[in-house]
Amino acid sequence: MSGGDAARGAPRDPEAEARMQRFINGFMQGVPHLALLGIRYRRHGDIWAELELPYAPQLVAYPESGVIASGAIFTLMDSASGFSVFVARGRMEPHATLDLRCDYLRPAAPGASVIGRAECFKITRQVAFVRGIAHDGDESRPVAHVTGTFMFTAPA
Amino acid sequence: MNAPLPPYGGLLGLCDGPGGEMRMPFSPGLIGAPGRLHGGAIAGLLELVAHRTVLEAIGAGVQLKPINVTVDFLREGRLEDVMAAATILRLGRRVANVRAEAWQADRARPIAAARLNILVVRPA
């Protein structure tokens, strides 16, 4: 993972950064399934993005323990991964998930928000490669680890 | 006899289909990018149908824990119902290896396919 907030490479044009922020705000409000799960934007850097999934009873998969569904974490990580592709490309051009693997390292603590952080570490002409983790407060104790690939699609 | 759906399955609006299949009727809350379903909702459906299929094969009393899932997104999910079914490749004492597929109008044209490893915790 890229360390901290320090941007890599050349500093980005502030106007481009403002455009990206406007896009993010609009994007987050405009995705119904993220709204359904309560997933929201946290922050991003040059090649990474962080989203947050606040705890909610309707996300539970194991009512006896209150642990949330792995599927909700998958959705969080798919979205954070897709987001990292947008910021790494610096363009809001569409892409689609080709595949995503999620290792569920341990159950998320009941009641805790889950934070998904993904990094787009390689971009080719047609494909973006992403890795990421989900954690519930302590980045050094992740609840999930993902790797995925995204295909660039032609603008609609 | 079907295992009860967890709250997350209710949030996705899942219901039973024929022969152990599950159905995710289209609803606006499943939309991701404009005009297509969110891949995460399809993945959630695949995980739930896989878990249910294993539970029904083993019977009551076991606890299942997801180890990992790999989802291939094969086609875009149109704004229509999604069906899903799972096949158990191997059911061991500790691990179930499962494959699951999701489709819309035509089962021969799946929109997503998943492979799952699920930990089976049997009563001592």
Q: Does residue B40 belong to the interface with chain A, where contact is any CB pair within 8 Å? A: yes
What is the DSSP secondary-structure string of A45-78?
Answer: -SSEEEEEE---GGGEEETTTTEEPHHHHHHHHH
- The C-alpha angle with vertex A145 and arms to A54 and A48, in degrees rounded to 5, equals 75
Q: Identify the pLDDT of residue A25.
A: 77
Domain ranges for chain B: 7-121
Q: With an 8 Å Cβ cutoff, are B8 and A33 in contact?
A: no
Radius of gyration of chain B (CA): 14
User: Phi and psi of B102, rounded to 5°?
Assistant: -125, 140
Alpha-carbon gap: A107 to the closest alpha carbon of chain B (Å)? 9
Task: With beta carbons under 8 A apart, name residues in chain A contacting B28.
Answer: 32
Q: Identify the pLDDT of residue A4.
A: 42
Alpha-carbon gap: A12 to the closest alpha carbon of chain B (Å)? 26
Q: With an 8 Å Cβ cutoff, are A34 and B38 in contact?
A: yes
pLDDT at A27 over 80: no
Q: With an 8 Å Cβ cutoff, are A75 and B31 in contact?
A: no
Residue A84: Cβ-neighbour burial (10 angstroms; 0-12, 13-18, 19+): buried
Q: With an 8 Å Cβ cutoff, are A33 and B43 in contact?
A: no
* Structural domains of chain A, with CATH: 14-152 (3.10.129.10)
**pLDDT tier at B4 (50, 70, 90 boundaries)?**
confident
Alpha-carbon distance of A24 to A86, in angstroms, equals: 9
**How much is the average pLDDT of B114-120?**
98
Q: State the DSSP H helix or E strand holding residue B120, giving kind and residue range, or none if neither.
A: strand B112-121
Query: What is the pTM assigned to this prediction?
Result: 0.92
Q: Identify the pLDDT of residue A23.
A: 78
Give CATH superfamily name and number for B7-121.
Hotdog Thioesterase (3.10.129.10)
Residue B24: which of B45, B3, B39, B43 has the closest Cα? Answer: B45
Is the pLDDT higher at A134 or at B5? A134
**How much is the average pLDDT of A143-151?**
98
Q: Does residue B23 belong to the interface with chain A, where contact is any CB pair within 8 Å? A: no
